[in-house]
Amino acid sequence: MVPQAGMAVRCALSAGRGCGEVDLGATALETAHRRSGTRVFQVVWPPLRVGAPGGPRSPKGNPCRGAGPHPSQCCPGDRRRQRLSTFGAALVASLLLVSRMPLAQAHAIAGMRVFPATMSFDDPGVADEGSFVFSHIDNGPASQDVLNLAMAKRVTRRFGLMASTDYQRLLDGNGAGALDGWDNTTIAAGYQLFIHPNSESIGMVQLADTVGHSGSLGIGAPYSVYSPEFAFGKGLGGLPHRWRMLRPVAVTGAVSESFPTDPAAPNMLNWSFSFQYSIPYLQDFVRDIGINGPFRNMVPIIEVPMQTCLDRGCANQTTGYVDPGVIWIGHYFQWGVEAQVPVNSRTGNSVGILVGMDFYFDDIAPHTLGAPLIN
């Protein structure tokens, strides 16, 4: 790839998938950025603009025009221009080479796009992560508290395992404890189908088994549920320049069907999606609008987890929530808070809350807990 004037070469070392060209509108010679395990290099070509402060002089009126081929025969401006051009070409070549190294990728990352872990459904990447999500919602006079605990571990760079469970507490209208205990445990295996850095797209398939009789009496179901799933993510970083302020937008989603082993239990279609606007992406790859402090790492998000019954007397009945909120992405963890707004009266009539944290083991312990079991 030959860099063109006004363009920039970008490489995500953790993606290990090559480089692409985008108009970043940048003026710095080189910036390095660390975000969720991704090291990003941005090199503007040409290294310095003609006529810019500190850059090479314009050829017009250059007293060294027609000078000999050796640097000693030119003036300092031409020697500086030669050195900068040589340095820029060497740096670009080095980054192109390094970006193609087969490096591990533990988060849901495609090119420059980091897809944060959603709190109400699965994100589209195999990972080395641990998370907890707490939710509270009222259901008429009663209320429900749920604490979800999950752990994900890569076996290889593309294949991973996951386990999760919920602790639930159901309260009656007087606030007295009516029922509490552990729900059934879910185990799953996921495979990373594809990661396309240039189009900022990612996809994963997963097969989950919620094991019957593994939870507390009265909370866990007495039957198992099998759920094949496809999860995906797509960033809009390839939009044309006139739509550049929409480049930080990304969409993620997951579609699965639940097959219970109890013939009396209905099959369910689970379909969920999210809309995200990444402030880190805006600041680093589109335009720095001066957002500082903790707000620079925030991703405003709307999650929409939905469920449609397919048979057994509840066919075509849909329930779900619209969850607006924000996720903060750090180097070792992320946290988020979202509201839970029912989509219809069948779901409920009260607004709930989600609060969660996700820990990145590949950054916390990259050579032990955060490394694939098989490299």
How far is Cα 171 from Cα 139, in angstroms, rounded to an integer?
Answer: 10
What tens digit of pLDDT does each residue of 13-28 get? Answer: 333 333 333 333 333 3
Nearest to 190, CA basis, from 132, 277, 127, 99: 127
Q: Does the pLDDT at position 287 exceed 90?
A: yes
Do 256 and 230 contact (CB within 8 A), yes or no? yes
pLDDT in tens, 130-170: 999 999 998 878 889 999 999 999 999 999 999 999 999 98
According to the model, what pLDDT value does residue 139 have? 83
Residues whose CB falls within 8 Å of the CB of residue 290, separated by 6 or more in sequence, listed in order:
none
Mean pLDDT of 338-362: 95
- pLDDT tens track for 257-267: 999 999 999 99
SS (H, E, C) the chain: CCCCCCEEEEEECCCCCCEEEECCCCCCCEEEEEECCEEEEEEEECCCCCCCCCCCCCCCCCCCCCCCCCHHHCCHHHHHHHHHHHHHHHHHHHHHHHCCCCCCCCCCEECCEECCCCCCCCCCCCCCEEEEEEEEEEECCEEEEEEEEEEEEECCCCEEEEEEEEEEEEECCCCCEEEEEECCCEEEEEEEEEEECCCCEEEEEEEEEECCCCCCCCCCCCCCEEEEEEEEEEECCCCCHHHHHHCCEEEEEEEEEEEECCCCCCCEEEEEEEEEECHHHHHHHHCCCCCCHHHHHEEEEEEEEEEEECCCCCCCCEEEEEEEEEEEECCCEEEEEEEEEECCCCCCCCCEEEEEEEEEHHHHCCCCCCCCCCC
List the domains of the chain with CATH numbers.
7-98 (no CATH), 109-364 (2.40.160.40)
**Which region among 15-24, 227-236, 310-319 has the lowest average model confidence (pLDDT)?**
15-24
**Dist CA 129 CA 91 (whole Å):** 34
Smallest CA-to-CA distance from 351 within 62, 191, 161, 137 is with 137
288-300: average pLDDT:
94
Q: 265-279 burial by CB neighbour count: b if 16+ within 10 A, else e?
A: beebebbbbbebbbb
Q: What is the pLDDT of residues 195-229, one digit of tens each?
A: 999 999 999 999 999 999 999 988 999 999 999 99
Query: Does residue 281 have a pLDDT over 70?
Result: yes
CA 248, CA 227: separation in Å to the nearest integer?
A: 32
Q: In angstroms, rounded to a whole number, what is the distance separating the alpha carbons of residues 115 and 299?
A: 10
pLDDT of residue 354: 97
- Whether residue 75 has pLDDT greater than 60: no
Q: Quick one: tokens of 235? A: 């960033």
Pairwise pLDDT comparison (264 vs 3), residue with the higher score: 264
pLDDT for the residue 171: 86
pLDDT of 11: 36
pLDDT-based confidence at residue 175 (cuts at 50, 70, 90):
low
Percent of the chain with pLDDT over 70: 71
At a CB cut-off of 8 Å and minimum separation 6, what does 86 contact? none
Task: Look at residue 331 and tell me whether its pLDDT is greater than 70.
Answer: yes
